[in-house]
């Protein structure tokens, strides 16, 4: 495994780490197996968040039973924008992870001017800086999906690391935030290297093109500005892929990078990355699931009847009655939370008009 220094934190981190968004869906034994495999192979960075359901709790118990807490660089994130909730969430995070400190803590998804204002004016930034003084967090970072807001934040010089989205379909940060982070000595952690899963064998085929997860991971990790890439890792095979990429030569020529980008032909304008930040829906609609199926329908609808049958079958099985796209009331709460500003209520109307369900069997 190759290692890089995370900017002015001085931390030596594996070039591929563990993104634990879905770790809460693993059993304790599965989580332990993932962490053990990662540890043996040289991965030393784990990222989770209070907003990731049971992820923190599962990681905390697994790390305790394996006695590996001190072996990993452990990071989590807080997303609440009122101070009392942010403080409460931080205490819950430490409790869940069964630790008295975090190596790195991110103020999560500061992607709008209103969010950044709330972080400053509601006492959240001051509280996070105080936690650092106390040693309860060793280093402070920021995560954002917006390059303009991100640059404002980075130029304050208050943060030591930035968590940014980067992949062959989302390259904006490459020419904007990456050089600014380097200027101010900030390490760069890359989220969404698979574009929410679309840059993998199965999902890319569903979207009408072809790319491998290995190609997408190498693309992100080969950028010289990048310190560490954290793909979603909730299966042993994903760990092994990360270990393979992280232990292989990572330099790529401009031509190699262009060839990867040329493979991608996303025919859907408003496609869902599957991050889940839109949830929970007040009507209980599993929004990422519905949009993933609708995105596939947009590619294959009316042209591939076998694929349309699969979509109908999956919509029938995976989306419960009473929680289908037509139940959307247009409250806009999901849109406010979506880091990609998707017009979700409009997409729900379109999905309701196009997606079909098989009648319940008697």
Report percent pLDDT > 90 for the chain.
Answer: 77
Residue 140 phi/psi, 5-degree rounding, is -115, 135
What pLDDT is attached to residue 150? 95
**Predicted confidence band at 275 (pLDDT cuts at 50, 70, 90)?**
confident
The Cα 125–Cα 153 span in angstroms is 11
Please tell me which residue, 60 or 341, carries the higher pLDDT value: 60
**Predicted confidence band at 112 (pLDDT cuts at 50, 70, 90)?**
confident
What pLDDT is attached to residue 362? 37
Please tell me which residue, 46 or 51, carries the higher pLDDT value: 46
Q: Over the stretch 171-220, which tens digit does the pLDDT of each residue have?
A: 889 999 999 999 999 999 999 999 878 889 988 888 788 999 999 999 99
The Cα 70–Cα 62 span in angstroms is 13
What pTM value is reported for the model?
0.83
The Cα 114–Cα 23 span in angstroms is 31
Segment 130-155 shows an average pLDDT of 96
What pLDDT is attached to residue 54? 95
First to last CA, the chain: 55
Domain boundaries of the chain, sorted by first residue: 3-263, 287-354
Segment 6-16 shows an average pLDDT of 98
Please name the fold of domain 3-263: TIM Barrel (3.20.20)
- Whose tokens are 């059993």? That residue is 27
């Amino acid at each position: 495994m190759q290692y890089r220094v995370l900017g002015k934190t001085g931390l030596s981190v594996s070039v591929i780490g563990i993104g634990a968004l879905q770790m809460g869906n693993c059993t304790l034994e599965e989580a332990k197996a993932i962490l053990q495999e990662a540890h043996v192979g040289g991965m030393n960075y784990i990222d989770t968040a209070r907003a990731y359901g049971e992820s923190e709790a599962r990681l905390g118990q697994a790390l305790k039973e394996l006695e590996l807490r001190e072996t990993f660089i452990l990071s989590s994130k807080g997303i609440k924008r009122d101070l009392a909730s942010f403080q409460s969430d931080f205490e819950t995070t430490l409790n869940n992870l069964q630790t008295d400190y975090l190596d790195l803590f991110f103020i999560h998804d500061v992607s709008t001017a209103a969010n950044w204002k709330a972080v400053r004016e509601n006492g959240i930034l001051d509280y996070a800086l105080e936690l650092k003084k106390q040693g309860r967090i060793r280093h402070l970072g920021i995560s954002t999906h917006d390059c303009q807001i991100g640059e404002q934040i980075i130029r304050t010089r208050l943060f030591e690391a930035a968590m940014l989205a980067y992949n062959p379909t989302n390259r904006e940060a490459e020419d904007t935030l990456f050089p600014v982070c380097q200027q101010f000595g900030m390490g760069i952690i890359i989220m969404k290297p698979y574009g929410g899963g679309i840059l993998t064998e199965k999902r890319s085929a569903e979207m009408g093109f072809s790319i491998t997860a290995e190609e997408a991971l190498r693309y992100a990790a080969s950028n010289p500005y990048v310190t560490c890439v954290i793909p979603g890792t909730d299966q042993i095979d994903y760990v092994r892929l990360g270990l393979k990429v992280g232990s292989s030569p990572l330099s790529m020529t401009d031509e190699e990078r262009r060839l990867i980008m040329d493979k991608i032909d996303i025919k859907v304008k408003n496609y869902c990355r599957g991050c889940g930040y839109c949830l929970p829906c007040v009507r209980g609609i599993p929004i990422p699931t519905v949009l993933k199926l609708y995105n596939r329908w947009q590619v294959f609808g009316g042209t591939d009847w076998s694929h349309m049958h699969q979509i109908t079958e999956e919509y029938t099985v995976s989306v419960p009655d009473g929680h289908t796209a037509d139940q959307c009331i247009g409250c806009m709460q999901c849109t406010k939370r979506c880091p990609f500003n998707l017009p979700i209520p409009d997409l729900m109307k379109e999905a309701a008009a196009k997606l079909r369900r098989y009648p319940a069997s008697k």
